[in-house]
Amino acid sequence: MNASTSTLGALCALTILLPLGMPPAARADGDTTPLIEKVHNATARYTDINVAFKEGWVTATPCVSGPDTGAMGVHLVLQARISAGTLNAEQPEALIYEPMANGAMRLVGVEFIVLASVWESNNPGPNPGVPALDGNLMNYIAYPNRYGLPAFYELHVWAWEHNPKGSFADWNTQVTCDHQPIS
Q: What is the pLDDT of residues 120-149, one digit of tens each?
A: 998 887 777 889 999 999 999 999 988 888
Which region, left, alpha or beta, applies to residue 103 given φ > 0 means left and ψ of -120 to 50 means alpha? left
**pLDDT of 146:** 83
Is 110 exposed, middle or buried (CB count within 10 Å of its CB: 0-12, 13-18, 19+)? buried
Instruction: Give the Å distances, CA to CA, from 37 to 16, 31, 44, 89, 160.
Output: 30, 10, 11, 10, 10
Global pTM value: 0.83
Question: Which residues does the chain have with pLDDT short of 50?
Answer: 1-29
Q: Enumerate the H helices of 44-173 as residue ranges.
A: 49-54, 79-84, 116-122
> What is the enclosing helix (H) or strand (E) of 55?
none
For residue 60, give the nearest of 152, 147, 131, 150 by alpha carbon: 147
- At 20, the amino acid letter reads L
**pLDDT of 105:** 97
Give the start-end residues of each E strand in the chain.
58-59, 64-66, 70-77, 94-99, 105-115, 132-133, 136-137, 139-141, 152-157
